[in-house]
């Protein structure tokens, strides 16, 4: 069931975490596996599912033009229904962070993943954030690692949405960079590294 393009990221469909389901009355936060999020994304956030919903649910869709940054290239890689983000975190005091600040940091990351703040495309989006895993990194030593998936459909309310944002590599880079800047400002005691992968998901 898992998208085959995710396997190179080392993600298992049973990877546990939490997902956000966007809602204008307050985003729904539910325990989830990666597989459950992908099913939700394909059924509720993919272009084909949303286009079908227009006919019976009164949903109004806008299609992102992929040029909000003014630097869209015709041959630029196209983003699918979601993209992946990896977080590597190294606190100054590992035990202190895990015991007292880990949950708050996780909550803040999930909140940032589920909100689009880009000009002209502000709203809520679906997201999955996996549990933190401890790893002994070759360069950094002991770190916390987590992976996320972020939907590329932004909901303004329950009946209006924009499909396809971010839609290009440049736009994904901008979204991830904005989340990174917020986190390093709010948690200056953490060493934080973020990277992303574009996933060419099937629209199914």
Average pLDDT per block of 10 residues along the chain, 204 residues long: 63 94 94 94 89 82 66 57 95 87 95 95 97 91 94 94 93 96 95 91 48
Q: How far is Cα 129 from Cα 36, in angstroms, rounded to an integer?
A: 12
Q: How far is Cα 137 from Cα 67, in angstroms, rounded to an integer?
A: 37
Q: How far is Cα 167 from Cα 61, in angstroms, rounded to an integer?
A: 15
Cβ–Cβ contacts within 10 Å for residue 161, how many?
23
User: Distances from the Cα of 34 to the Cαs of 18, 108, 136, 194, in angstroms?
Assistant: 9, 19, 23, 19
Give me the DSSP letters along the chain. ---GGGGGGT--TT-EEEEEE--TT--EEEEEEHHHHHHHIIIIISHHHHHHHHHHH--EEEE--S-TTS---TTSPBP-SEEEEEEEEEESSHHHIIIIIHHHHHHHHHHHHTEEEETTEEEE--EEEEPPEEEEETTTEEEEEEEEEEESEEEEETTEEEESSS-BHHHHHHHHHHHHHHHHHH-TTEEEEEEEEE------
pLDDT of residue 1: 46
Tokens 């689009």, residue?
116
Q: How far is Cα 32 from Cα 70, in angstroms, rounded to an integer?
A: 36
**Can you give the pTM of this predicted structure?**
0.89
- Walk me through the domains of the chain, giving residue ranges and CATH numbers: 16-198 (3.30.70.260)
Q: How far is Cα 11 from Cα 23, in angstroms, rounded to an integer?
A: 27
Give me the DSSP letters along 154-198. EEEETTEEEESSS-BHHHHHHHHHHHHHHHHHH-TTEEEEEEEEE
Residue 172, both tokens? 């994904």
pLDDT of residue 77: 62
């Amino acid at each position: 069931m898992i998208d085959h393009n995710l396997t190179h990221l080392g993600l298992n469909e049973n990877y546990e975490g939490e997902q956000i389901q966007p809602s204008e009355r307050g985003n729904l936060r539910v325990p989830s596996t990666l597989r459950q999020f992908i099913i939700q994304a394909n059924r509720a956030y993919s272009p084909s599912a949303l286009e079908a919903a227009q006919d019976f649910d009164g949903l109004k869709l806008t299609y992102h033009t992929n040029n909000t940054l003014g630097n869209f290239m015709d041959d630029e890689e196209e983003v699918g229904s979601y993209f992946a983000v990896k977080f590597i975190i190294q606190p100054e005091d590992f035990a202190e962070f895990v015991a007292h600040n880990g949950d708050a940091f996780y909550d803040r990351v999930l909140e940032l993943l589920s909100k689009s703040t880009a000009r002209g495309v502000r709203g809520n989006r679906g997201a999955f954030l996996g549990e933190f895993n401890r790893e002994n990194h070759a360069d950094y030593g002991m770190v916390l690692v987590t992976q996320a998936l972020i939907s590329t459909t932004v909901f303004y309310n329950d009946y209006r949405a924009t499909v396809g944002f971010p839609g290009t590599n440049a736009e994904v880079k901008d979204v991830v960079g904005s989340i990174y800047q917020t986190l390093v400002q709010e948690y200056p005691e953490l060493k934080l590294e973020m990277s992303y992968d574009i996933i060419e998901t099937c629209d199914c």
